[in-house]
Amino acid sequence: MRRREFLAGALALSGCAPMPQSYARDGASTESLATRARRSGRWFGAAVKSRQLREDPDFTAAVAQQCDIVVQEYELKRKTTEPKPGQFDFSGADQIIDFAQQHKMRARGHALVWYAANPDWLEPALQAASHDRREKLMFDYIDAAMPRYAGKIAEWDVVNEPLEPNEGRADGMRQDSMWMRAMGEEYIDLAFHHARETDPGAMRFLTDFGLEHDSPRCERRRTAMLKLLDRLEARKVPVDAVGIQGHLKPFREGFNQDIFARFLKDLSDRGLSLSITEFDIADRGGPPNPDKRDREIASVAKAFLDVAFDNPATQALLCWGLSDRYSWLSNYPDYKWPDGQKSRGLPLDDKMRRKPLWDAIGAAFDAAPAARRQASLRSHNA
């Protein structure tokens, strides 16, 4: 759909599954998003930074109140944790996991193997290494991170963002990846098998972006993801779940509930669990009036989340941040507003006040059928 048609449709859909009247703040639910998620058998959470938890008591209180699962925004990315070969600094991640433990929260680990956010020394070492040594360079980080948090981090993004059809490969795989260049697609197999050996109790995710919209770009990515999963299943690679990042851009690309629902069914029919792992909404290009923009964003979110939660394999929603005070969207060139205003794509505004998006998320949890938490058939059959 075109943007205007999509937004009109989203508003109509929100009328089919009404959102609370808390847009006007009257009669707003006082229950946390975590509480409302748990009623449907799911989790709600956000990406956080240790500095935010140390230095911003209002933000910390909001996370403690609203979330029952957290993920590190950057403090388990290898560039941060292993600046020099074999010299690890997990201090930031430790603080986040300690916070989760203190508040009886679940935690995700992000990410073990990624083409980006690697230390400067790693790619030259990988290029110069023999095949066996290349495997070890990948395994070294899995061996350092997973045992440290065994029993504390329940699920890991084992391989993050392996797809990029725009780079021209027929299979849609990302060729601008040092792991792909060094080992071919086998790097994914190796990473998942080694992760299972290292911490058998953790759920293992394959995660990517651009799987959500009704656009040629996203259709190519969905097709590439399904074909990759079929190849991994044929090779008995122990993938437990797919993480759909959920970075929405409704003022640039349309959304079709039926298309997205079919894609989620294609995933869950393969025996995979699902989560929305990095949810936010880029609002650049929306109405200049913030109140009107907030309402349109909320309708977009409700339409998207109704489909996501209608599939019982969808077990969690994590936002990439909780408050506009700390949104990456406000700084990223493609999404930041040219006049310097903050993006409004997260549930709380920059003063930690609830927005229509918060209400939409809560309403989607309230309307959701019960989740089905399951171990992957891939793991059972591998």
Task: Return the pLDDT at 372.
Answer: 84
Mean pLDDT over each residue of the chain, to the nearest integer: 92
- Give the pLDDT band of residue 79 (cuts 50, 70, 90): very high
Lowest model confidence (mean pLDDT) among 75-79, 83-87, 292-296, 372-376: 372-376
Count each helix (H run) and each strand (E run) in the chain, helices first: 15, 9
User: For 96-131, how does the pLDDT look when each residue is reduced to its tens digit (9 = 90+)?
Assistant: 999 999 999 999 999 999 999 999 999 999 999 998
Q: How many CB atoms lie within 10 A of CB 12?
A: 11
Average pLDDT over residues 31-46: 98
> Does residue 258 carry a pLDDT above 50?
yes
Per DSSP, the residues of 168-202 read --TT-B-SS-HHHHHHTTHHHHHHHHHHHHH-TTS
> Does residue 266 carry a pLDDT above 70?
yes
> Does residue 196 carry a pLDDT above 50?
yes
> Does residue 2 carry a pLDDT above 50?
no
In the chain, the N- to C-terminal Cα span, in Å, equals 41
> Does residue 21 carry a pLDDT above 50?
no
Average pLDDT over residues 296-321: 98
Task: Return the pLDDT at 28.
Answer: 60
Query: Sign of the CA dihedral 106, 328, 161, 258?
Result: positive
User: For 168-187, how does the pLDDT look when each residue is reduced to its tens digit (9 = 90+)?
Assistant: 999 999 999 999 999 999 99
CA atoms of 217 and 340, how far apart (whole Å): 29
* Contacts for 207 with CB less than 8 Å, ≥ 6 apart: 111, 157, 159, 160, 161, 242, 243, 244, 245, 277
Is residue 314 within 8 A of residue 274, CB to CB? The reply is yes
What element of type H or E holds 254? none
> Does residue 13 carry a pLDDT above 50?
no
Task: Return the pLDDT at 30.
Answer: 81
Is residue 291 within 8 A of residue 18, CB to CB? The reply is no
Q: How many CB atoms lie within 10 A of CB 370?
A: 11
Task: Return the pLDDT at 7.
Answer: 52
Q: Tokens 């495997």 — which residue? A: 135
Residue among 289, 274, 281 at smallest CA distance from 368:
274
Average pLDDT over residues 85-98: 98
